[in-house]
Amino acid sequence: MNDFSIRNHWLENVRRVPSENHDERPAGSKPTLIVVHCISLPPGAFGGKDIDRLFQNRLDPKVHPDYVSISRLRVSAHALVRRTGEITQYVPFSMRAWHAGKSSFDGQPRCNDFSIGIELEGTDDSPFADVQYHRLAQIILSLIDQYPTLSRDRVAGHSDIAPGRKTDPGIQFNWERLFKLIAG
């Protein structure tokens, strides 16, 4: 099932849209957590270019009322899995993407320092596409193969690392299905 190779911290044969919203991980910090998110821009709309624009600091606040509050955010994720299965990578996995915000996992704060963030195109309350589960599992298995500090039991949702502040990937995300796909 592992169909992706990673070279120089980039998935090969996927769309690349580099984001400047990243920096170096702290000295000695390695990725030990994979965080699953979901996003749609405008909310509930799929397939447009606004996710790319958000991660590239080019989101026009005049396009949609919700964009006024987020257009100045400096955020990114390592990768995005569209509803079609298309994958876009924004930040090399060796770098710290700005996806988690105020967060902690297993008592360790600042999850951006030690995590890889993967966005799924979707909403908290709508089902995800079959192909998204398969592509997400392929990425996770490729990451585990490439980075020995990652493991199948250190995959969490944004809601797990920022409870009360974040709800994604939401109630429609089927964790059992994902864990079956990445099982040894």
Domains of the chain in sequence order: 6-182 (3.40.80.10)
Q: Are 102 and 164 in contact (CB under 8 A)?
A: no
Question: Predicted confidence band at 1 (pLDDT cuts at 50, 70, 90)?
Answer: low
The count of other CB atoms within 10 Å of the CB of residue 171 is: 9
The residue from 86, 119, 121, 176 that is catalytic is 119
- Asked about 176 being catalytic, the answer comes back as no
Burial of residue 69 (CB within 10 Å: 0-12, 13-18, 19+) is exposed
- pLDDT of residue 4 exceeding 90, the answer is no
The pTM for the full model equals 0.97
**What sign does the CA torsion over 22, 139, 94, 163 have?**
positive
pLDDT tens-place string over residues 40-84: 999 999 999 999 999 999 999 999 999 999 999 999 999 999 999
Average pLDDT of the chain?
A: 97
Q: Which amino acid appears at position 103 of this protein?
A: S
Instruction: Report the 10 Å Cβ neighbour count for 161.
Output: 24
Q: Please give the structure tokens belonging to residue 125.
A: 């309350």
Q: pLDDT exceeding 90 applies to what percent of the chain? A: 97
Cα 35 from Cα 33, distance rounded (Å)? 6
Please give the pLDDT value at position 91.
98
